[in-house]
Amino acid sequence: MTTLLEISGLTKQFGGLTAVDGVTFSMDKGEVVGLLGPNGSGKTTVLNMVSGLLPPTRGTVMLNGETLTGLSPNRIALKGVARTFQLVRILPSLSVLENVVAALAFGRRRLWGTVARDEALARLEQVGLADRADETAERLTYIDQKRMELARALAADPAVLLLDEWLAGLNPTELRIGIDLVASLGERGVTVLLVEHVMDAVRALCGRCVVMNAGKTIADGRTADVLADAEVVRAYLGA
């Protein structure tokens, strides 16, 4: 396996608070890794630093041996890091297809016109939303908005996909669909970092998990081992 994403000593201070404290882990190509931890443990701040939305106080993020730290979010996206947000971000008055076409226009390959249209349809097909391509985005159900957001992220042809609680808020049927969808990305070789509280999803999708507590990494290993770890259980129970 080759290391794709390498996070070393990543640290973020907000005033006197060290929200992320020396986080170090790496991901191999095609891995689906869970990033777990109680609320406030620093998971979203890690994603924000990896995607360039926040500059780290210390530490580095490398993709394929190339340093991403210090680059703008746009440059980092162009290098191959895509993400979804906890609150779905869409262009509500545009059609589903236009939403994905817009992402393609600013993506790594900068596709336009009919090429972009065909590519957008392929991405919508991939997430099971091709039949809603002409629907206005704001009229979609919640899971379909999430599917569209995923299609937008995939339009950038990412090497690494950061999913921030992408499966939160789905009902059991939708959750099964969502899990299958993320699993299919892993099978296609997309490397996924999954911040997730839905443990069934973590067990089904992640071969490996990294667990954070109070900004620090407290476990990194096979999912079954990590979830049975006494310190991890204590962190989740807040004891």
Residue 54 backbone class (left: φ over 0; alpha: ψ -120 to 50; beta: rest): beta
Q: Which is nearer to ligand ADP, 21 or 31 (CB)?
A: 21
User: Should residue 37 be labelled a site residue for ligand ADP when binding is judged by CB under 6 A?
Assistant: yes
Burial code (b: 16+ CB inside 10 Å, e: under 16) for 85-118 equals beeeebeeeebbbbbbbbbbeebbeebeeeebbe
The answer to whether the beta carbons of residues 43 and 218 sit under 8 Å apart is: no
Q: Determine which residue in the list 5, 21, 34, 44 makes contact with ligand ADP, applying CB under 6 A.
A: 44
Of 178, 84, 98, nearest to 138 by C-alpha is: 98
User: Should residue 238 be labelled a site residue for ligand ADP when binding is judged by CB under 6 A?
Assistant: no
Shortest distance (Å) from residue 39 CB to ligand ADP: 4
Report how far apart the first and last C-alpha atoms of the chain are (Å, whole number): 37
Q: Which is nearer to ligand ADP, 12 or 146 (CB)?
A: 12
Q: Which stretch binds ligand ADP (CB under 6 A): 42-50, 117-125, 166-174, 183-191?
A: 42-50
> Given strand 216-222, what is the order of strands in its sheet?
81-83, 160-164, 191-195, 32-36, 208-213, 216-222
Residues 47-86 that bind ligand ADP (CB under 6 A): none
In the structure encoding, which two tokens stand for residue 238, read together? 């807040």
In the structure encoding, which two tokens stand for residue 214, read together? 């109070």
Q: Which is nearer to ligand ADP, 12 or 147 (CB)?
A: 12
User: Should residue 45 be labelled a site residue for ligand ADP when binding is judged by CB under 6 A?
Assistant: yes
Shortest distance (Å) from residue 213 CB to ligand ADP: 9
Shortest distance (Å) from residue 12 CB to ligand ADP: 8
Shortest distance (Å) from residue 44 CB to ligand ADP: 3
User: Should residue 11 be labelled a site residue for ligand ADP when binding is judged by CB under 6 A?
Assistant: no
Q: Which is nearer to ligand ADP, 52 or 107 (CB)?
A: 52
In the structure encoding, which two tokens stand for residue 171, read together? 């009902």
Q: Determine which residue in the list 19, 150, 201, 218 makes contact with ligand ADP, applying CB under 6 A.
A: 19
Q: Determine which residue in the list 24, 28, 29, 40 makes contact with ligand ADP, applying CB under 6 A.
A: 40
C-alpha count within 13 angstroms, C-beta hemisphere, residue 107? 26
Amino acid found at 137: A
The answer to whether the beta carbons of residues 56 and 35 sit under 8 Å apart is: no
Q: Which is nearer to ligand ADP, 39 or 173 (CB)?
A: 39
User: Should residue 42 be labelled a site residue for ligand ADP when binding is judged by CB under 6 A?
Assistant: yes
Binding site for ligand ADP (CB under 6 A): 14, 17, 19, 37, 39-45
